[in-house]
């Protein structure tokens, strides 16, 4: 099947499910009844990869390569521009194979000439393909996606995954822009996050389980009945952030994604250590079901609620939010203990004297 058609089918099948929300119920922020702050000065800015962004949100990779992809990319780029959010395009492989579909990616740069735009390609890519993908949209960074689980369900998907880390190392040296390595919804354990950190990537996006589920999408697309157990494969989003945060050094930024779009979950992801939070399935769903202005309203609401939550934890900035105590219980705490991580260290974080 040609890549472009597959991209449209991903949109079609992802729209069969209402956006799924990752489970952050084991993680609690603590209410501060004496916040010594002015709500009008709560600051959502976050800094990574040499730039400061006005919000910790970004629009994660979705599409490109077809007429529908062009329309969606244009609308998402308009929203990204309005809010100053970085935006990743979907996999550019279709346009690297056939120049006819380049417009569906270039439209993002045309609509948002000065915005942060990220190229996107799979981990099979060699440095030359990455350079072409970056050049195509004058990208500020490139995302390399890891999607072994998805490929294995596709009848024509990749089966050979050797050499990914050494390819990524080479890409880091030659890309000329920051390299972000992302999972697409099955999460990242700390061992792989550590490997990527050593490979010199600028950011990892843990892309945990709980949001868009490519095992469900691909099996439905292929008409294959996956066992219910396999459909739940992956590291849950909250746990994946904790795993990666435990090994990343300051040089590698931590991004979180996978079913995160509720303001409280965004606040928890940031408090667990994420520098930014990516949204894919949710903005796509809102855009196609309700239109661009509804999506604008939803992002406005998310940012307002995030400010309210920050205020109520006594955090005036995202950096301060990352010092607030968090109580981690249940399955997540149990997982941490079995993996040698101490949930009590989060609960006893000092925050400030407030
Ligand atoms: C329709 C659709 C197409 C996607 N295509 C890509 C892609 O081309 N490249 C990529 O890196 N991720 C792709 N993703 C994955 C998202 O960027 C994200 O990692 C994943 O959906 C988890 O986030 P979510 O739960 O917010 O959707 C796609 C997601 C959706 C819903």
- For the chain, the domain total comes to 1
User: Which of 58, 59, 62 has the most ligand 1 atoms within 8 A of CB, as the residue to mutate?
Assistant: 62
Q: The CATH number of the domain where 9 resides is what?
A: 3.20.20.70
Residue 225 resides in a domain? yes
**Is position 328 within any domain?**
no
pLDDT value of residue 353: 47
Say if 346 falls within a structural domain.
Answer: no
218 falls within a domain = yes
Choose among 117, 128, 120: nearest CA to 145. Answer: 120
C-alpha torsion 8→10→15→19, nearest 10: -140
Q: Calculate how far, in angstroms, residue 61's C-alpha sits from the geometric centre of ligand 1.
A: 5
Tell me, using a 6 A CB cutoff, whether residue 187 lines ligand 1.
no
pTM score: 0.97
3-state secondary structure (DSSP) of residue 28: strand
Asked if the structure places residue 310 within a domain, the reply is: no
Q: Percentage of the chain surpassing pLDDT 70?
A: 99
Is residue 13 one of the residues assigned to a domain?
yes
**Integer Cα distance of 146 and 149 in angstroms:** 9
Per-residue pLDDT of the chain (354 residues; tens, 9 = 90+): 588 889 999 999 999 989 999 999 999 999 999 999 999 999 999 999 999 999 999 999 999 999 999 999 999 999 999 999 999 999 999 999 999 999 999 999 999 999 999 999 999 999 999 999 999 999 999 999 999 999 999 988 999 999 999 999 999 999 999 999 999 999 999 999 999 999 999 999 999 999 999 999 999 999 999 999 999 999 999 999 999 999 998 899 999 999 999 999 999 999 999 999 999 999 999 999 999 999 999 999 999 999 999 999 999 999 999 999 999 999 999 999 999 999 999 999 987 545
Atom number, ligand 1, closest to the C-alpha of residue 279: 26
Query: What number of CA atoms fall less than 13 Å from residue 145's CA on the CB side?
Result: 25
CA 118/CA 59 separation, integer angstroms: 10
**Interval between CA 162 and ligand 1 midpoint (Å):** 23
DSSP-H helix ranges across 175-291: 190-198, 214-222, 228-231, 237-245, 263-271, 281-290
259 lines ligand 1 (CB under 6 A): yes
Long-range contacts of 78-82 (CB under 8 A, 24+ apart): 78/111, 78/112, 78/292, 79/283, 79/287, 79/292, 79/295, 79/296, 79/299, 80/108, 80/112, 80/115, 81/111, 81/112, 81/115, 82/296
Mutate which of 60, 259, 266, 269 for ligand 1 pocket (most atoms within 8 A of beta carbon)? 60
DSSP H/E element including 167: helix 164-174
Q: State the closest ligand 1 atom to the C-alpha of 145, by its place in the atom list counted from 1.
A: 11
Residue 33 domain-assigned? no
Nearest residue (CA) to ligand 1, atom 6: 62
Asked if the structure places residue 202 within a domain, the reply is: yes
Q: Which residue range(s) make up the domain with 272? A: 3-24+50-292
How much distance in Å is there from the Cα of 80 to the middle of ligand 1? 16
In b/e form, how buried is each residue of 118-130, taking b as 16+ CB within 10 angstroms?
bbbbbbebeeebb
């Amino acid at each position: 099947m040609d890549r472009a058609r597959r991209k449209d089918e991903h949109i079609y099948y992802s729209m069969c499910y209402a956006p799924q929300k990752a489970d952050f119920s084991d993680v609690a922020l603590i209410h501060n009844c004496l916040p010594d702050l002015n709500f009008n000065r709560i600051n959502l800015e976050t800094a990574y990869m040499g730039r400061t962004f006005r919000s910790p949100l970004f629009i994660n990779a979705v599409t490109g390569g077809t007429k529908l992809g062009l329309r969606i990319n244009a609308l998402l780029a308009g929203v990204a521009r309005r809010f100053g959010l970085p935006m990743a395009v979907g996999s550019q492989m279709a346009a690297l194979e056939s120049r006819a579909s380049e417009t569906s990616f270039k439209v993002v740069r045309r609509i948002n000439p000065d915005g942060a735009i990220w190229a996107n390609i799979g981990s099979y890519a060699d440095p030359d393909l990455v350079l072409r993908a970056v050049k195509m949209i004058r990208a500020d960074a490139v995302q390399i996606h890891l999607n072994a689980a998805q490929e294995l369900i596709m009848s024509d998907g990749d089966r050979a995954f050797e050499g990914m880390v050494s390819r990524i190392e080479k890409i880091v040296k030659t890309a000329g822009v920051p390299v972000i390595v992302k999972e697409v919804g099955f999460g990242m354990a700390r061992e792989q996050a550590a490997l990527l950190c050593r490979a010199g990537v600028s950011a990892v996006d843990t892309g945990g389980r709980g949001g868009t589920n490519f095992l469900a999408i691909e099996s439905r697309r292929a008409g294959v009945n996956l066992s219910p157990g396999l459909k739940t494969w992956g590291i849950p989003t909250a746990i994946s952030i904790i795993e990666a945060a435990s090994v990343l050094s300051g040089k590698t930024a931590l991004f979180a994604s996978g079913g995160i779009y509720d303001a409280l979950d965004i606040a928890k992801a940031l408090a667990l250590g994420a520098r930014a939070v990516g949204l894919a399935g949710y903005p796509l769903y809102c855009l196609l079901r309700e239109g661009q202005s509804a999506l604008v309203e939803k992002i406005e609401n998310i940012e307002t609620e995030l400010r309210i939550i920050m205020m109520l934890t006594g955090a005036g900035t995202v950096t301060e939010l990352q010092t607030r105590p968090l109580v981690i219980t249940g399955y997540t705490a149990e997982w941490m203990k079995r993996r040698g991580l101490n949930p009590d260290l989060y609960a006893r974080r000092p925050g400030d004297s407030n």
